[in-house]
């Protein structure tokens, strides 16, 4: 007789996953994030994967990056009701910084340069909020963070110390941030390239919105 498995919800910091891991393995960007979570946590039923990201704003001479991201997000949406994508925003801002190496002008003031920057806003706050909300509602038996962003330390501590729920960490780096290791009892899994390779989407996906093809740049 089959024993019912405990349930888990996974919260994916999409931009952190890209920066910390997929930039090193671009051949595995066509990632079935649900399957990856199932491979990393076979003892649990993955009830839901909450995927948090922002639509990137590439340089004007490299629009293909944004197009490929859009194709990938369509592919994730085709996976059904086990995944929920939440979006923050990318904001372009001009900031003024001292030049490097540091130098001063004839009048004794630091020489400054205006730099165009891109900042992501909203997705981290949304991830933390949903993680606490789902835990408070008892939506699953374990709540797993996929990120190496130390800013999530307070969230994990609230879940463990205040709400008393089971927590886990899927780390995109081989040595997770010590700030995220808030409990000796928390589950910790390192995402290996072999798990990425075993979790790839089909090259062609048939969805209600039409056919989705893996971007040529990712093959």
Identify whether 47 is part of a domain. Answer: yes
Q: Count of domains in the chain?
A: 1
- Are the beta carbons of 195 and 175 closer than 8 angstroms? no
Identify whether 105 is part of a domain. Answer: no
Identify whether 112 is part of a domain. Answer: no
Average pLDDT in the chain: 91
**89-103, 116-130, 154-168, 204-218: which has the minimum mean pLDDT?**
89-103
Strand segments, DSSP code E, in the chain are: 7-13, 45-53, 83-87, 89-98, 112-121, 142-146, 166-171, 187-190, 204-207, 210-213
Cβ neighbours, 10 Å, residue 153: 15
Structural domain range at position 47: 7-87+122-218
pLDDT band, very low/low/confident/very high, at 100 (cuts 50, 70, 90): confident
Identify whether 56 is part of a domain. Answer: yes
For residue 118, the model assigns a pLDDT of 57
Identify whether 130 is part of a domain. Answer: yes
Percent with pLDDT over 90 in the chain? 74
Instruction: Report phi then psi at 10, rounded to 5.
Output: -115, 135
Identify whether 114 is part of a domain. Answer: no
Q: What is the mean pLDDT of residues 186-213?
A: 95
Identify whether 93 is part of a domain. Answer: no
| Structure-block tokens of residue 166 | 């089971």
Sign of the Cα pseudo-torsion (21, 26, 31, 35, in order)? negative
pLDDT, tens digit, 9 for 90 and up, residues 127-155: 999 999 999 999 999 999 999 999 999 99
List the CATH number of the domain containing 143: 3.40.50.1010
| Residue that has been written with the tokens 């194709």 in this structure | 71
Identify whether 92 is part of a domain. Answer: no
Residue 107 has pLDDT above 80, yes or no: yes
For residue 183, the model assigns a pLDDT of 94
């Amino acid at each position: 007789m089959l024993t019912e498995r405990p349930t888990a919800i996974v919260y994916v910091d999409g931009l952190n996953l890209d920066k910390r891991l997929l930039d090193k393995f671009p051949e595995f960007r066509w990632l079935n994030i649900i399957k990856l979570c199932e491979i990393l946590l076979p003892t649990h039923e993955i009830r839901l994967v909450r995927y948090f990201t922002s639509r990137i704003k590439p340089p004007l001479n490299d629009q293909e990056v944004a197009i490929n991201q859009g194709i990938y997000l369509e592919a994730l949406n085709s996976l059904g009701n086990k995944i929920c994508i939440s979006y923050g925003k990318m904001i372009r801002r001009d900031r003024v910084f001292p030049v490097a190496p540091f130098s001063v002008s004839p009048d004794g003031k630091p020489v400054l340069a205006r730099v165009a920057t891109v900042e992501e806003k909203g997705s981290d706050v949304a991830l933390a909020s949903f993680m606490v909300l789902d835990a408070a509602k008892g939506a699953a038996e374990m709540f797993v963070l996929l990120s190496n962003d130390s800013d999530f330390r307070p969230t994990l501590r609230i879940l463990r110390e205040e709400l008393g729920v089971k927590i886990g960490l899927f780390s995109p780096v081989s040595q997770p941030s010590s700030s995220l290791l808030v409990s000796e009892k928390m589950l910790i899994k390192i995402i290996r390239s072999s798990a990425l390779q075993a979790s790839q989407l089909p090259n062609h996906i048939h969805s209600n919105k039409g056919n989705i093809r893996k971007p040529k740049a990712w093959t």
